[in-house]
Chains A and B, each alone.
Chain A
Amino acid sequence: MAAAVNDKSGNAYVRMSYLDALQQAQMEELERDERVIIIGEDLAVYGDGKVVSRYPTRTWSTPISETSFTGMGIGAAMTGLRPIVCLSIASFMYLASDPIINQAAKLRYMTGGQIGVPIVFRCCMFYGVSNAAQHSDRPYPVFLNVPGLKILCPTTPSDIKGLLKSAVRDDDPVMLFEDTKFWTVKDEVPTDPEYLLPIGKAAIRQAGSDVTLIAIAGAMRVALEAVKVLTAEGISVELIDPRTLKPLDTETVLTSVAKTGRLVIVENAHRVCSLAAEIAAIVSEQGFEYLKRPIQRLAAPDVHVPFSPVLESLMYPRAEAIIASVKTVLR
């Protein structure tokens, strides 16, 4: 790992990948709080090897029993621990969805506040690499429909560190959807073990005045490419990363649309009842008078992810499509 560098205000940063930042966040939280444990499959092998060797009694490498080890994490969270449950591929969230929805999300409410469930459910959205439909889902929209959950989709190394650490310290169930498109992306990450980002706050990646572009999770990569091209053409784009999908920072979205009057939303999940659909609904309800043109949504079509790379490449919005949509709303 590279040596730390100080910025002008004296904060130290190290350049590291999204995946390393995630591991560092977990390691720091295990070090800080003995109530933190990690539960999941193949922990020792995939990335968490250091964690397992350092904290053997707080890492539980499980059999392939997603429903029950997720429920066990919830039982542990109800009784004094702060588990991180690792569900690896996001499609496995469906197996875990019964305890997540019926227990973790509901128990505080159903018991009139007697029971809290401070837990993190981690998984990665692993798509675009020919793994076919059962390993390629981006299923966060399913869980947006569930009251009581908090849902995060960080897109940078420093964000995943700050948000994962906040999630571990949060008193409610938090789902963290990593996007493997960022795993190897490197950037400056604060070395401060108290570096925390607030859950529920969007980031404005670039300020602009002509059009608001909201990019969710992995779609941020192509959005950044598109913004580069549009900026070179003299179009001023305000690029927003929601980071927290639930609770959504609607204030940042509405403030931006009030300024630009134009909105394009892009994500890699299926388009029906997606986050883009929800944001479009909110802006229509609460910011209709700001809009100069209809909202544009770019998302995966309502069809499963195919195995053939020739077909899968048609699934997710590309930079050219974003550029075209921005130009449509500017017309």
Chain B
Amino acid sequence: MSMTETLQREAYRRMLRIRRFEEEGTRQFMQGKIPGAFHASIGQEGAIVGACLALRDEDMIVGTHRSHGHPIGKGASLEALMAELMAKSTGISKGRGGSMHLADRSVGIIGQSAIVGGGIPLATGAALSAKVRGSDQVCLCFFGDGAVNQGTFHESLNMGSLWKLPVVYLCENNGYAITTSLVESHAQPSIAKRADAYAVPGVTVDGQDVSAVYDAAHTAVVRARRGEGPTLIEAKTYRFDEHNVNLNAGMTDPYRPVEEVEYHKRHRDPIPLFRRALLELGLSESELTVIEREVDEAVAEAVRFADESPFPEPSELCENLYSRPIPARGKQAV
């Protein structure tokens, strides 16, 4: 099924929200206001948003260390996400998670695993839970091309298929596991083909085409909800930035050609590609400009909120370790 006009507008809005949020986040990071490492998904917005829009509000997502796009793609508000990146107490995880772990439970993001491949069993288990509870929820599992080589991919797809669990496995294949290319690390370069080993459909889709990703994800979600089991979708996409921002500053031996990166930025950027498609479909320039202005304002507001928020108090260090505070060694309650 293709996107309705309303969904198309929403797809554009959400891709742009990810892009502007991460561009602004990169600036904040370079100014030293975001600690740790900043993992941008710029370039991968089509794969993320196309898949998220095929879900219902109550459906679940497990994502990865490249985690900013998943909650935004599922409809999260930006304030608590930016505050989390800035390590503030108003952050979505109260400053305990950061860039690799933007999990917003309120929109169904139940986990963002920075252990590569670690989220695949969690998503499969969430689908098992839906089946046992008699719910018709579906769990969407994002992972990268690197995770496909983990044992959890094999084990989980086997069980997901064996028990016909309502899970959609969506590989954001950006071609590089940090710096190791797919051809250097996959004996079978087609990730979709691996589906045959588990008797599930394997689909390859252009991840830079948000409509195509939506169509593939929609088919997979319908199948999962019907109780027919998982689908493996390989969305071929591209990461415009480094594994994390500034990671390879000063690198003398780049792992991917500059021309390749430039080609993708110029010709394979999912946002201008979709913008052109929308104009061709009859949306007006002014309509798109309104969306663009709204997104800019929302990102600015998120930065304002994060800037004005306090850092966590030292007394909060041990909070949320257990469901109820446990006295540490009979002394102070934590």
Contacts and interface: CB of A to CB of B under 8 A. Distances in A.
Given A63-B155, A65-B155, A79-B110, A71 B91 contact: no
A75 B124 contact: yes
A70 B322 contact: no
Nearest to A248: B329
Interface in B246-302: none
B330 interface: yes
Contacts of B94: 112-113
B111 A115 contact: yes
A172 B97 contact: no
A63 B157 CA distance: 12
Contact of A71 (B92, B97, B118): B118
A16 B148 CA distance: 48
A317 B162 CA distance: 46
Contact of B118 (A98, A147, A251): A98
A99 B121 contact: yes
Interface stretch (B126-134, B168-176, B219-227, B229-237): B126-134
Given A103-B111, A111-B96, A68 B329 contact: no
B156 interface: yes
Interface string B86-104: 0000011111110001011
A37 interface: yes
Interface in B108-140: 110-111, 113, 115, 118, 120-130, 132-133, 139
B159 interface: yes
A78 B122 contact: yes
Given A109-B320, A110-B101, A171-B323, A58 B159 contact: no
A72 interface: yes
A153 to B, nearest CB: 18
Contact of B111 (A37, A68, A78, A98): A78
A254 B60 CA distance: 47
A69 B158 CA distance: 11
Contacts of B139: 75
A79 B118 contact: no
A251 B330 contact: yes
A141 interface: no
Contacts of B111: 75, 78, 103, 107, 111, 115
A115 B103 contact: yes
B138 to A, nearest CB: 12
Given A75-B122, A115-B105, A200-B326, A68 B155 contact: yes
Contacts, number: 160
A73 interface: yes
A110 B110 CA distance: 12
Nearest to A173: B322
Contact of B322 (A79, A107, A172): A172
A76 B159 CA distance: 14
B314 interface: no
Contacts of A69: 121, 155, 159
Contacts of B323: 108, 116, 118, 170-172
B125 A247 contact: no
Interface residues of A, number: 51
B97 A112 contact: yes
B308 interface: no
Contact of A112 (B125, B129, B320, B329): B320
B96 A110 contact: yes
A112 B93 contact: yes
A66 to B, nearest CB: 9
Contacts of A118: 323
A67 interface: yes
B101 A74 contact: no
A53 interface: no
Contacts of B129: 75-76, 78-81
Given A65-B159, A67-B152, A75-B126, A113 B320 contact: yes
Interface string B150-186: 0110011011001100000000000000000000000
Nearest to B137: A79
A183 B329 CA distance: 32
Contact of A115 (B110, B128, B132): B110
Given A69-B121, A76-B125, A286-B329, A57 B103 contact: no
A65 B151 CA distance: 9
B106 to A, nearest CB: 8
A78 B158 CA distance: 21
B334 to A, nearest CB: 10
A282 interface: yes
A60 B128 contact: yes
A11 interface: no
Interface in A266-321: 282, 286
A2 to B, nearest CB: 35
A147 B91 CA distance: 22
A288 B87 CA distance: 41
Contacts of B155: 63, 65, 67-69
A251 B327 CA distance: 11
Interface string A71-102: 11111111111000000000000000011001
Contact of A114 (B103, B126, B324, B327): B103
Interface of A: 35, 37, 57-58, 60, 62-63, 65, 67-81, 98-99, 102-103, 107-116, 118, 147-148, 150, 170-172, 200, 247, 250-251, 254, 282, 286
11 contacts: A37-B132, A60-B128, A68-B121, A68-B156, A72-B124, A72-B128, A76-B126, A78-B122, A79-B60, A107-B111, A118-B323
Given A172-B322, A254-B330, 17 more contacts: A63-B162, A68-B151, A68-B155, A68-B159, A71-B120, A71-B152, A74-B122, A75-B126, A76-B129, A76-B132, A111-B101, A111-B105, A114-B103, A114-B105, A115-B105, A115-B110, A147-B321
